[in-house]
Amino acid sequence: MSRWEGLEEFVAVAETGGFSAAARRLGLSASHVSRQVQRLEERMQTRLFHRSTRLVRLTEAGQAFFQHCRQLQDGFDEALRSVLDLEQSPKGLLRITSSAVYGERYIVPLINELVAEHPQLQVEIELDNTPRDLVQEGYDIAIRLGRLSDTRLVAVRLAPRVMYVCATPDYLARHGTPTSLADLERHNCLLGISDSWLFQADGRELSQRVAGNWRCNSGLAVLDAALCGIGVCQLPDYYVLPHLHSGALVALLPDFQLHSQAHGVWALIPPRRNLSPKVRIVVERLRQRLAARPEYAGGAFA
């Protein structure tokens, strides 16, 4: 029996959190995966997983062994790539998930350019704002906006994301122009998914509760309400910059504008997939092309 036998199954169970999920990823039966992991535990004379009817989780020994196995797999993957020399020709299936509006406007056109250049690359793109478990669901890249929370993933910052508070000139003529965060309490704030807006002052992030008579969980709907003069909105740059440049909207509270390095447009990658040539090429293309966009190169709108 090979001393490597069972390692791939063990890593798949550890990453997916279950024998059935690992079996689906590997294209094997759940019983085969379970049997291989059990034989591995017997050879090592230690238990690697705590098992119950609803939960599979690593033991302390399993955690330590998992880290070493991932390093071994990464080394094997890198050696295999050096032999196959795939660096200049991305190929195979690439699964991407992205927030809907940003994905439609910015990500998909750049991905389409790559596919046109590399017809051996096959892509599946899911556009929605639902949080995804990249490992469990088999995604290679997730495009996410704002502050990151999942520290298990490799994160590449693709572009900044600046938040703008703005309103129409007509609304401001009727209700006045806010000059401080406290002034927002006297204005009709158009609400999205949160009752608080984020700001920045003296290098610190601030959270300000706001209220109004209008709410919707769609950024495009919030933008439309602002353009109708219903109230004040806070939206990312990619929603409002064209309207700020045209004069349809006026940027407010510039001294409190949120533009910290912690917030941005990110490519999130499962740790083992960040070494894949197709992933590296796609992420680098996105990073270069997004950074070159005029709204990012020009800095904040004033």
* pLDDT beyond 90 at 261: no
Q: What is the pLDDT of residue 2?
A: 65
pLDDT confidence bin for 297, thresholds 50/70/90: low
Q: What is the pLDDT of residue 79?
A: 64
* pLDDT beyond 50 at 301: no
- The span from the CA of 225 to the CA of 231, in Å, is 7
Q: What percent of the chain has pLDDT over 90?
A: 50
> Nearest CA to 135 among 32, 14, 53?
14
94: left (phi over 0), alpha (psi -120 to 50) or beta: beta
pTM above 0.85, yes or no: no
Mean pLDDT across the chain, nearest whole number?
87
* pLDDT beyond 70 at 202: yes
In terms of Cβ atoms closer than 10 Å to its own Cβ (0-12, 13-18, 19+), residue 233 is: buried
- The span from the CA of 29 to the CA of 23, in Å, is 5
- Tell me which of 124 and 299 has the higher pLDDT: 124
* pLDDT beyond 70 at 188: yes
pLDDT confidence bin for 302, thresholds 50/70/90: very low
* pLDDT beyond 50 at 40: yes
Question: In the chain, what's the furthest Cα-to-Cα distance?
Answer: 81
* pLDDT beyond 90 at 111: yes
The Cα-based distances of 174 to 167, 188, 214, 230, 248 in angstroms read 11, 12, 18, 11, 15
Which range is least confidently modeled, 95-104, 221-230, 242-251, 285-294? 285-294
Report the pLDDT averaged over residues 24-35.
Answer: 89
Q: What is the pLDDT of residue 106?
A: 93
Three-state SS annotation for the chain:
CCCCCCHHHHHHHHHHCCHHHHHHHHCCCHHHHHHHHHHHHHHHCCCCEEECCCCEEECHHHHHHHHHHHHHHHHHHHHHHHHHCCCCCCCEEEEEEECHHHHHHHHHHHHHHHHHHCCCEEEEEEECCCCCCHHHHCCCEEEEEEECCCCCCEEEEEECCCEEEEECHHHHHHHCCCCCHHHHHHCCECECCCCEEEEEECCEEEEEECCCCCECCCHHHHHHHHHCCCCEEEEEHHHHHHHHHHCCCEEECHHHCCCCCCEEEEEEECHHHCCCHHHHHHHHHHHHHHHCCHHHHCCCCC
* pLDDT beyond 50 at 299: no
- Per the CB < 8 A criterion, the answer to whether 59 and 49 are in contact is yes
Q: What is the pLDDT of residue 1?
A: 53
pLDDT confidence bin for 291, thresholds 50/70/90: confident
- Per the CB < 8 A criterion, the answer to whether 142 and 128 are in contact is no
Report the pLDDT averaged over residues 99-115.
Answer: 93
- Tell me which of 169 and 128 has the higher pLDDT: 169
